[in-house]
């Protein structure tokens, strides 16, 4: 869900940017309507990012709580979780054709 929201957000930013640099509708600094529209789009973008951060925090807190309960009840050990995490990480890395951090 987070990835889909990020892709949608990126698409909206690109569309907005292309609209403002379009030769058919030049972006003049003196054009108050376009300037206020651009400012509004950035405010909406900032609000969506804040919402995404809150959702991610809530999901991480829920997952951490669940793992803690499973360990406390002895259903799973920390070693088992670490092993599973490493296994899944290797599996996902082999499925993703490009590195997640291309700038490193």
Continuous segment of H or E residues that includes residue 90? helix 78-95
Give the model confidence (pLDDT) of 19-41 as tens digits.
Answer: 554 445 444 445 556 678 888 88
Specify the pTM.
0.51
What is the C-alpha separation between 56 and 49, in angstroms, rounded?
10
* Span 45-55, average pLDDT: 91
Confidence of residue 85 (pLDDT cuts 50, 70, 90): very high
Show the tokens assigned to 52: 């995404």
Top-confidence residue, 21 or 84:
84
Classify each residue of 30-48 as buried b or exposed e, where b means 16 or more C-beta atoms within 10 Å of its C-beta: eeeebeeebeebeeeeeeb
């Amino acid at each position: 869900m987070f990835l889909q929201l990020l892709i949608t957000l990126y698409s909206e930013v690109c569309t907005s940017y292309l609209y403002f640099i379009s030769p058919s509708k030049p972006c003049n600094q003196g054009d108050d309507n376009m300037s206020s529209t651009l400012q509004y789009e950035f405010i909406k973008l900032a609000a969506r990012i804040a919402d995404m951060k809150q959702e991610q925090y809530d999901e991480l807190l829920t997952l951490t709580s669940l793992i803690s309960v499973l360990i406390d009840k002895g259903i799973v050990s920390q070693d088992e979780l670490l092993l599973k995490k490493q296994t899944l990480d290797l599996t996902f890395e082999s499925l993703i054709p490009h590195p997640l951090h291309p700038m490193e």
